Structure 1
Amino acid sequence: MFAQLLTPPYIPFTFSFLIMIGIGVIEVVGLGLGHLDLDADASADAGDSVLGWLGLGGELPILIWLTSLLGCFTVSGIAVQQSMTALFGAPLHPGLAAGAALLIGTVLNTFAANGLARVMPGFESTVVSTNDLLRRRGTVLEGTARRGSPARAKVLDHHGQAHFVMLEPHEDEDSIAAGETVLLVRREGTLFFALPERAAFLNPI
C-alpha cells in the first residue's frame, strides 16, 4: 500500500498527507502559527454564512481546520482511486482525482470541523482582528512618523501580545518621534493613524 501511494495517481494525496504531518510538527514545536489573523474586513452576511458552513465561523483554530481539511482530502482521494481501480481496473488521472477529492473532502470537512468545534468548548482564542488594535496605545520604535512618511510602532492588544504596525499622525501638522506614545484612532488598509499622547484632548482608555 505504501508503494502504491508513491505512484503518480496517488501523488496529490501523498503530498497532502505530508503537509498535514508538517502542520502537526509545527504545532508540536510551538511556532504559534495557529494564531493567524484571518480578518479580511468582510462585512457581508453571505461571507459569514459561507465561513460558518465551512467550519470557520466559530472558535476552531485555523490550523486544526486546515489539518482536518487535508485529512479529509487525503482519505477522499485514496477512496476515489481505490474505487475507480476496483470498478474499472485503473485509477483516475491525478488531476481528476484531486478535483473529486477536493469536492468530497470539503463536504466531509464541514461535518468534521463543526464537530471538532463542538467538542472544544473550552478553547479561548487569542487571535485579534486588526480593528481590535484601534483605541490601543502604542510606542513608536524607530524614525519619526509624519504624514506621508510612516514609522514602525509596537502595540499591545488586550491579551498582552505585541503587534508591529506602520503608522502616521492623524493630523497633517503633527510629527511623532521614536519613543513617543500614541493612540491609534483609525486605519486605512495596513496603515494606522495615531494621535500623540502629548495631545491634551487624549482621554485614557
Structure 2
Amino acid sequence: MLWELFLEPSNLIFSISLSLMLLFGLIECLLLLIGSSSQGLMEQFVPDQLHEIQGVEADLEGSNLFLTFLDWLYLGRIPMLVWLVIFLTVYSLTGFITQIIFFNFTQFYLPLWLIAPACLIACMPLVRLSAAIISRILPKDETTAIYSEALIGRTALIILGEAKQDYPAQAKVKDQFGQIHYILVEPEIDTTFSLGQEVILTQQTKNGFKAITHSI
C-alpha cells in the first residue's frame, strides 16, 4: 500500500520531495564523516537582505514583503539545510496524508496539478511551526560577545533607508573581531545620511547610534 502510494503518478512531487530529503540527509552524514559539511554552501542561497532584516528589531519602512514572508518561515534563523529538510518532510507528508484521506472517501487520488500547489500553501504554517521548534532546540552559534560601546568610533555603512535626526536608518558595522552587526543610525547634527554612505559612530542612543559623516 505504501509503495503503491509512493509510485502513484498523482503523488510524484511528494515522492520526489521525500527522496530529496533522504538524499540530503545521507549526503550530510557522509560529509560529516570526512570532517566537512554542506552548511557553508547552503547558506549562500539565503538572501543577504534577509539577515539584514533579522538584524534589526524595529519595523523598518519599505521592507520587502517577500523577505518578510521568508523571515516568517524562519528561513535564515536556522541552518539552511535543516530548514530544507523540514520543508521537504512537511510538504511530502502533507501531500501523502491528504491523498490517503481523499482516497479513502472517493477511491481515487486528487490530480497532481491540483494537490501540489494546494499542499504547498497548506504546509507553510506547519513548516514555520516546525522550524520555530527546531530553532529552540538547536545550539546557538558561538559568537564573540562585545559591548555596544565598543562599536563607537567605527565606520558603518547605511544599507537601508535614509537617516535624519530622530529618523534612523539601518546600517551595518564590523567589530574588532570581524563580525557584522546591524544597527540603527541617525545623524548627530542636522544632516542626512543617504543609502550607501559611510559614517562614523560617535555615541550610543536608546535605539541605536548617532554618527557623523565619514571624512575621506
* TM-score bin (small chain): 0.5 to 0.7
The superposition leaves residues 75-102 of structure 1 with CA deviations (integer Å, 9 ceiling, x where unpaired) of 0000111111122221100121111211
For structure 1, the 5+ residue unaligned runs are: 126-134, 136-156, 160-185, 187-205
Choose which of 53, 59, 63 in structure 2 pairs with 1:45.
63
Aligned partner of 2:29 in structure 1 is 28
SS of the counterpart of 1:45?
coil
The alpha-carbon distance between structure 1 residues 88 and 3, as it changes in their structure 2 partners (threshold 3 A), is closer
Q: CA deviation at 1:15?
A: 0.6
2:73 corresponds in structure 1 to: 54
Alignment of 1:80-119 (within 5 A): 80-119=98-137
- Counterpart CA distance in 1 for 2:63 and 2:136 is 22
Q: Provide closer, same or farther for how the CA distance between residues 17 and 56 of structure 1 changes in structure 2, counting only shifts above 3 A.
A: same
Partner of 1:148: none
**Distance apart, 1:4 and its partner CA:** 2.4
Q: How far is the alpha carbon of 1:57 from its aligned partner? A: 4.6
Partner of 2:11: 10
Distance of 1:67 and 1:89 partners within structure 2:
31
Letter in 1 for 2:124: T
Distance 2:12 2:127 in 1: 21
Structure 1 residue matching 2:123: 3-state secondary structure: helix
Q: Percent identity over the alignment?
A: 23
- TM-score normalized by the length of structure 1: 0.55
Write out the 4+ residue segments of structure 1 that deviate beyond 4 Å after TM superposition: none
Give the alignment of 1:139-150 within 5 angstroms.
none
Instruction: State the AA in 2 paired with 1:53.
Output: W
1:102-154: CA deviations, max 9, x gaps?
112222101000110011143449xxxxxxxxx9xxxxxxxxxxxxxxxxxxx
The letter for the 2-side match of 1:22 is L
Opposite residue 99 of structure 1, the aligned amino acid is P
CA shift for structure 1 position 46: 4.3
What is aligned with 2:89? 71
CA–CA distance in structure 2, aligned partners of residues 124 and 71 of structure 1: 28
C-alpha RMSD over aligned residues:
2.6
**Helix, strand or coil: the match of 1:29?**
helix
User: Unmatched 5+ residue regions in structure 2?
Assistant: 54-61, 144-154, 156-176, 180-195, 197-216
CA deviation vs aligned residue, 1:29-83 (integer Å, no higher than 9, x gap): 225322222234466534553222111152x000100100000001000011111
How many residue pairs end up in the alignment?
129
